Structure formats: C-alpha cells, structure tokens
Amino acid sequence: MENSTFPLKKTARLAGLFYLLNVLTSIYGMLYVSSKISMNGNSSDILNNLVQNEFLFRSGIFMRLISSIPWILLAFSLYRLLKQVNEDQAKLMFAWMILSIPIGFIAEAFNISGLLIAKDELLKSMDIVQRQEYAVLFLKAYNHIISISEMFWGLWLLPFGLLICKSRFIPRILGILLLLGGTGYIVEWITFVLFPIYKPTVSHYTVVLGSIGEITVMLWFLIKGVKNIIPAFDKK
C-alpha cells in the first residue's frame, strides 16, 4: 500500500449539501404536493381537483425535475470522495445514480400528458368519459413508473454502503444503515412487481429504513465531514 493522503473534507461537505438540496426539492414534489392533490375517488373528482390545483401540480413537477441537478452533483461528489476506496464500486454507484434520472423524466412526461388531457388540450376528438379515463391512466402510470424506479433507489445504496463500510474515514455503522435501506427498497420493488397487494404495507417499513440511513449520512457529511487526511487504499 502506498503512503499518500487525500484532503477531501470539503468534498464530503459538498456532498452533504447536494444531498440536502435533493432531499428538500424531492420532499416538496413527492410528499407535499401529493398530499394536497388526491388521486382517490372517481375520475371526474380526481381531474377536477387536478385542474383546480394546476399551478401546485406543475410546481411539483418542476421541483422533482430540478432535484436532478443536485442529484447529479451529489453523484460526482460521492464518486470523488469514495473512488480511492474501490474505484469499480464507486463507478457502479455513480452509474446507478445517473440511470435513475431519465426514468424520472419519463414519469413526469406522463404527469404532464395527464394534465393536458384533463384540460381538454389533448385527445379532443374523444368524448369526455374517454378523455377522463385516459387522463387518469396517464396520472396513475406515473406512480407505477416511480414504483419501478425504486429498484435504482436500492441498487445505488448497496455499493455506497459497501464503500463506507470499507473506508476508514466514515463510521461503518452508516454503511450498514445504507445497506439495510438499499435492501429495503429492492424488497419493495420486488413486492410491487410480484405481490402488489402487499406493497403499501412493505412501503411503510422501507421508507423509514431508507430514510434513517440516508438522512444520517447526509447529516454526517454536513456536520462532521471526513477526516482532513485520508490514507490511500490498496488499488489491488
């Protein structure tokens, strides 16, 4: 092993900042807006509620799309921070993070299409009942796409957790929490695909499990960072 050092405390703090920005924008788009615009009830009620809260709905789409910017910056920061631990695993983590972005953009395209149909700006040749059915279909397709993308939520946390466990400059317990959270998201994705009736129940546990690990790591990077001097790792 070579004796060299890597002063990466600033990189860790930046990673924590980008993580926080992603969390805040995602919370607004995925939790706050969703709680204000219900997708329950008959098609007419759902779409009337959507059109009446159009700006709020669009702001949710905007914030979820914007959240991809700090997410990309987070991916680069984490790669720079952890590549000396194991470069192959760091590249895998980075790849899973980036691959999740186009899926999110595709999902938002369904949301926008559903809104335009609800406002009678698309599929004008159809009668109102058909338009309502298509609008709700597009809106619910968004939720299905997000459920499928949970696979990536779990897959990127696994190499991230392993890298932290192998590092000697971040507490190992944080890596273990990330591994548990990543496993939970993957279990939720499997449940959605194979046993959808159980997904709401499984989701209650996986969201908590994933949030504990990610929020703890985010706060550690923001508050503690990493050691000023980080030993080099064996490249074998």
Residue 147 lies in a domain: yes
pLDDT of residue 7: 65
Q: Please report whether residue 234 resides in a domain.
A: no
Q: Is residue 2 part of a domain?
A: no
Q: Which residue has the higher pLDDT, 77 or 224?
A: 77
169 occurs within a structural domain: yes
Residue 235, domain member (yes or no): no
For 139-196, the pLDDT digits (tens) are: 999 988 988 888 999 999 999 999 999 998 899 999 999 999 999 999 999 999 999 9
pTM over 0.85: yes
First to last CA, the chain: 9
Query: Residue 236: inside a domain, yes or no?
Result: no
Q: CA 126, CA 15: separation in Å to the nearest integer? A: 49
For the chain, the domain total comes to 1
User: 10-45 pLDDT, tens per residue?
Assistant: 899 999 999 999 999 989 988 889 888 877 778 888
**Angle of helix 87-118 relative to helix 128-166, nearest 10 degrees?**
160
Q: Is residue 209 part of a domain?
A: yes
Token pair 């890597």: residue: 6
Number of residues written out for the chain: 236
* Residue 169: partners with Cβ closer than 8 Å, 6 or more residues away: 226, 227, 230, 231
Assess if residue 4 is contained within a domain: no
Contact (Cβ atoms closer than 8 angstroms) between residue 156 and residue 97: yes
Supply the range of the domain harboring residue 201: 9-223
Question: Which has more confidence, 3 or 28?
Answer: 28
